Structure 1
Amino acid sequence: MPRQLPADCLNEIFEYLEDDKPALYSCLLVNRLWCKVSVRILWRNIWNFRYSIAYQHRPKVSLKIISTLVACLPDESKELLNKNGVIIPTPTSESPLFNYASFCKVLSIYEICRIIDVDLDKIPSALLSLKSRNCLVVNEVIKMFTNQISVLKKLTYINNIYNINPNEISFTCFSEARDSLTYLTELNCSSDIPSEFIHQLSRICHNLQTLRIDFFENIDFNIIIELNELISLQNSLKNLNLSAFDGGDWIDILPSLTKHSNTLTKLQLNSDNDNLPLSFVASFPNLQEIEFSFSFGGAYFDDFEKLQYAIFPKLQILNIPYDCPKPEHVMNILKNNGKNLEEISFPKHNNDLNLIIAKFCPNLRKLFVLFNDDELDTLITIFNRCQHLESIKFWCGERFFLSEKEVLETVAKYSPKNFYELKIYNDSISKLLPEDLESFFISWKNRSPKKSLTLIIIRDYFVGFQVNEENMKIINKYKNLGIIRKFEIRD
């Protein structure tokens, strides 16, 4: 008779499958024990289904989620819905096999509102208006979560455009869920939600590690007061993400951030407003990761000039993915902080900046910058001086940038011994021939020391790398030989 692995062993094994949803789904069907262990992991963050399944299947999945949650509601909530003429079909007339809500560690009020508004749209309510019906269901579902979740790790409530009045959502249940909210470590919110939501959290949640706030125009004064209070009460805030769009700004909450000047290690700033202050970033000397995500005029962020001589002795990651400040200002940051940098992303071409990277960033492990088609020597210089480099992302194309063939040949010949990951983005039709691909893999095979390669091709929709039969034969050949550890094509 085969022996059954105990639940704790299965749980440890299944934890490695957390990002492999199809594998976890298959585990549900093995037996009751496997089902019991895997279902807890699947429901830990049920809201990420929109990013893990195909678009055409999302409506069906979201409807199953809300019907399952309704089936889990306590009897008094079901009676309240029935009394108001809200009849929502459930998967079975029997009680659910599990108390699914209790497995959740992540609660998204945004997703609850979205699913209820979209998926209950075709279910009529004779006694209530659409808004009242939706708010009633939202409140009962939120109340169930706060009562059932033993420890909540992440909470999201950002602006929504759905047919639900945010002022009719009750957050008094938060005060009854003190135990579960005490250990909340991540909060995502926006400046146009009810201040009562933030007020209730401020009374309970003092251990946030990660805080994201989206700012929009016409911010209510009360929400600013509550946000400042919430920020000031945190014991050790480590990660901060501030976004300001459509006239919003983060100016009014800057004073409350000073308490966290020594604890903050990761900062992300996102905006389309080029008049926002940035000099406050210099107040956080222990930052290890900084991202400036500017768009629609970000190149004119004048306040960025005040940061160019700031010292961040622990900085490891600098990411500027879209519109960029003046390159000379970034160069000065690299001169002062490049020694400890391990990752740089700066997708705006400037050869002088690339040479500064080669000179002042010897410990880089990951890099994404642009090289024109006449700057192969600069790439070789980076390879020669950044001997810890493990991964690089290129932008290839027939107009201005290095060709794929040049990139492959240079990587095979000059990349450091620890290099293992190559990412190529192509915005035009690829001209890479199968013999060029074969030559590259042969060269990689003969490198010393030997290291398996991860090759990731990023296509501009259907433009770019040609996955023809000959290319795939070559790729599969070297995968079988162990020369390629991972090959992936992303759109």
Structure 2
Amino acid sequence: MSKLYRDILYLIIEELQYDRKSLVSCLTINKIWCEIIIPILWKNAWEDLAFDKENLLLNTIISHLSDEERNNLSQYSKISYKKPLFNYISFCKHLNLEIIENIILSHGQGQYNEIKNYILNLFINKNAEYTHLYMTNYYYEYHLIPEAEQCFSKIKFLRCDSRVKENSLAILTKMCKSIEDFELIIYNYENNFGIPKLIENQENLINVSFLHKYSPYDGLFRAFLENSLIKHANTIQYFNICGKLETQILTSFVNLKDLVLMGDWERWIFIENLSLPSLQSLYTRDINTESLKGLIENSGGKLNELNISYSVIFPDAISTKEIIQVICQNCPNLTHLEFYYKNCNVLDLEKLLIKCQYLKILGIYYIVEDEFMNWDNLFNILVTSSPLSLHKLKIIYPVNQPELKSLKLFFDNWEGRKPISLIISIKGDFIRKKQLNDLIGNYKSKGVVKDFIHYSYEYDDLIESKAKEIVKDLKTKAANIFYGFKNLFN
């Protein structure tokens, strides 16, 4: 029974691996819990690492060094270290060389090279085997570490930048054949033209991201990169690219499911007739209206997620109307839609809501500085025309706040449907916050409102608010699972 207990407990805890705070709180329950949780926490020790925790992590890593090695480091020679309870480093499956470099630079207080050499030898050795590698942009001679080839041979995820040094790239090209997820940060003109060979060598490349650190970029290098993907045309399912494509490579991705395009508002005629029969998710930013319309029209009718974003130039009412019409005609299976909206497009929105009967999540971006949002019209259309599947509504950047009476009427009319999660971003805080909280609390108790999240334009506020909601929800679920599981074996 104890083995069954341990196996089931492991499966439960693994599901909660991203709720690190809750996992840490469970470390002291008993030895079995601790032995299961520690490897999960250290699988990716770098995830969400706050600056004030970096020195603690560095000291934990240093504790794995021998007494002789620590004595060679003046900064640590006089500090008494207890032998670690676990060989924490052996649990690492994500090797983030960039964070390691940054931690040493920030907290090493001298002897940078010595500390780095010792630490890298802890992580790169004959006993280490990684699935995720985040290659630093510092020009370290990784090829001089004898076990580097073995450590990197089973990498599934690789993130590096276009300045990767030749010797390090040679190791990756030689040993890494199983990369499925590849992210490349591209710099201006500091590009290693050996990277396309690394891409070509992979056996099952699925996800590809070409991200630009600066612009303009090297068009010739980009063309080489895009052409290196031809071999993987049948396996690539996710493609993310910043800037205009230099080739017609997208026409080859017959099994592409997720596409992210970030443009510069220039018209891309070649994507207007592009056929992507398997496409399910499309995110665009600053894509010309005509190009966007053509892309949606030829998406194959399987889109279930569409996010249309702009950062500088925003579509006028006519362009918005045209985009909505194209969505109505070609995207009947949408479950998640985010786009820009103006008051004068309210009837177009009504048609869209009637047409998209599977819609679950709707995000409306309202960036019109000289025009107030007509909340009553919007809420009325949502109540009368939205599909019963809709349960999450995001309204971003309206100039004005909704009146409490408008919210009350909306919630009254929403009663009897799926509880709504409402997210509103406005400048500043709600004027009558106490009355708002009372109103929301009342409709939560009635089962009309599931969540209400308000945040200001500062994106950090959204992250913090949402994170708190997620952690709270996870803790509740985890507690219920744990107590039920504990009772099962008592």
TM-score (norm 2): 0.83
Shift of 1:286: 1.6
Q: Tell me what 2:122 maps to.
A: 144
Tell me, yes or no, if structure 1 residue 193 matches structure 2 residue 146: no
- Cα RMSD of the aligned pairs, angstroms, is 2.5
Secondary structure of 2:241's aligned partner = strand
Shift of 1:81: 5.1
Q: Partners in 2 of 1:178 and 1:239 — Cα distance? A: 23
Tell me, yes or no, if structure 1 residue 293 matches structure 2 residue 272: no
Q: Is the 8 A contact 2:400 2:426 kept in 1?
A: no
2:423 corresponds, among 448, 453, 456, to 456
Amino acid paired to 2:413: S
Tell me, yes or no, if structure 1 residue 246 matches structure 2 residue 215: yes
Secondary structure of 1:291's aligned partner = strand
Shift of 1:340: 1.0
Q: Tell me what 1:63 maps to.
A: 55
1:354 corresponds, among 308, 324, 328, to 324
Amino acid paired to 1:290: L
User: Structure 1, residues 282-327: CA drift from partner, whole Å, max 9, x if none?
Assistant: 2222211111123xxx112x5x211210111001111113x22x21
Tell me, yes or no, if structure 1 residue 12 matches structure 2 residue 1: no
Shift of 1:4: 11
Q: Is the 8 A contact 2:372 2:399 kept in 1?
A: no
Q: Is the 8 A contact 1:278 1:307 kept in 2?
A: no
Q: Is the 8 A contact 2:391 2:420 kept in 1?
A: yes
Shift of 1:427: 4.7
Q: Tell me what 1:44 maps to.
A: 43
Query: Superposed, which structure 2 residues align to 1:214-233 within 5 Å?
Result: 214-220=185-191, 223-225=192-194, 227-233=195-201
Q: Is the 8 A contact 1:153 1:185 kept in 2?
A: yes
Query: Superposed, which structure 2 residues align to 1:412-423 within 5 Å?
Result: 412-423=383-394
Secondary structure of 2:124's aligned partner = helix
Q: Partners in 1 of 2:98 and 2:78 — Cα distance? A: 22
Shift of 1:67: 0.8
Structure 2 residues not aligned, in runs of 5+:
456-460, 462-490
Q: Tell me what 1:481 maps to.
A: 446
Shift of 1:180: 4.4
Structure 1 residues 89 and 255, CA gap change in structure 2 (3 angstroms): farther
Q: Tell me what 1:82 maps to.
A: 71
Q: Is the 8 A contact 1:135 1:168 kept in 2?
A: no
Q: Is the 8 A contact 2:277 2:300 kept in 1?
A: no
Q: Partners in 1 of 2:431 and 2:40 — Cα distance? A: 38
Shift of 1:278: 5.2
Shift of 1:70: 1.0
Amino acid paired to 2:68: E
User: Structure 1, residues 257-301: CA drift from partner, whole Å, max 9, x if none?
Assistant: 111111111100024xx6x5153222222211111123xxx112x
Q: Is the 8 A contact 2:61 2:89 kept in 1?
A: yes
Tell me, yes or no, if structure 1 residue 284 matches structure 2 residue 253: yes
Tell me, yes or no, if structure 1 residue 202 matches structure 2 residue 168: no
Q: Partners in 2 of 1:436 and 1:193 — Cα distance? A: 56
Q: Tell me what 1:29 maps to.
A: 28
Q: Tell me what 2:341 maps to.
A: 371
Shift of 1:29: 2.7
Q: Is the 8 A contact 1:101 1:149 kept in 2?
A: no
User: Structure 1, residues 88-122: CA drift from partner, whole Å, max 9, x if none?
Assistant: 786x62101111111222111111111111122xx
Bigger shift: 331-340 or 479-488? 479-488
Tell me, yes or no, if structure 1 residue 157 matches structure 2 residue 125: no
1:99 corresponds, among 70, 87, 94, to 87
Q: Is the 8 A contact 1:147 1:177 kept in 2?
A: yes
User: Structure 1, residues 422-463: CA drift from partner, whole Å, max 9, x if none?
Assistant: 112125342x122222222222113xxx32222223455xx3
Q: Is the 8 A contact 1:59 1:119 kept in 2?
A: no
Q: Is the 8 A contact 1:139 1:169 kept in 2?
A: no
Amino acid paired to 1:375: N
1:333 corresponds, among 281, 286, 295, to 295
2:237 corresponds, among 265, 270, 275, to 265
Shift of 1:247: 3.4
Tell me, yes or no, if structure 1 residue 182 matches structure 2 residue 150: no
User: Structure 1, residues 212-254: CA drift from partner, whole Å, max 9, x if none?
Assistant: 111112335xx312x1221111001011000232333322323
Q: Is the 8 A contact 1:319 1:345 kept in 2?
A: yes
Query: Superposed, which structure 2 residues align to 1:294-309 within 5 Å?
Result: 294=263, 298-300=264-266, 302=267, 304-309=268-273
Structure 1 residues 210 and 408, CA gap change in structure 2 (3 angstroms): same
Amino acid paired to 1:473: D
Q: Partners in 1 of 2:135 and 2:140 — Cα distance? A: 14
Secondary structure of 2:337's aligned partner = strand
Structure 1 residues 60 and 471, CA gap change in structure 2 (3 angstroms): same
Q: Partners in 2 of 1:469 and 1:228 — Cα distance? A: 58
Q: Is the 8 A contact 1:371 1:401 kept in 2?
A: no
Shift of 1:177: 5.0
Shift of 1:338: 5.0
Structure 1 residues 429 and 480, CA gap change in structure 2 (3 angstroms): same
Bigger shift: 191-200 or 133-142? 133-142
Q: Partners in 1 of 2:343 and 2:139 — Cα distance? A: 56
Secondary structure of 1:48's aligned partner = coil
Q: Is the 8 A contact 1:135 1:169 kept in 2?
A: no
Report percent identity of matched pairs. 24
Q: Is the 8 A contact 2:141 2:168 kept in 1?
A: no
Q: Tell me what 1:53 maps to.
A: none
Q: Is the 8 A contact 2:227 2:249 kept in 1?
A: no
Amino acid paired to 2:380: E
User: Structure 1, residues 177-226: CA drift from partner, whole Å, max 9, x if none?
Assistant: 55543331110000112122221122221111110111112335xx312x
TM-score (norm 1): 0.83
Shift of 1:418: 1.2
Q: Partners in 1 of 2:289 and 2:127 — Cα distance? A: 48
Structure 1 residues not aligned, in runs of 5+:
51-57, 126-132, 160-165
Tell me, yes or no, if structure 1 residue 171 matches structure 2 residue 138: no
Amino acid paired to 1:313: P
Amino acid paired to 2:115: V
Secondary structure of 1:299's aligned partner = coil
Amino acid paired to 2:326: I
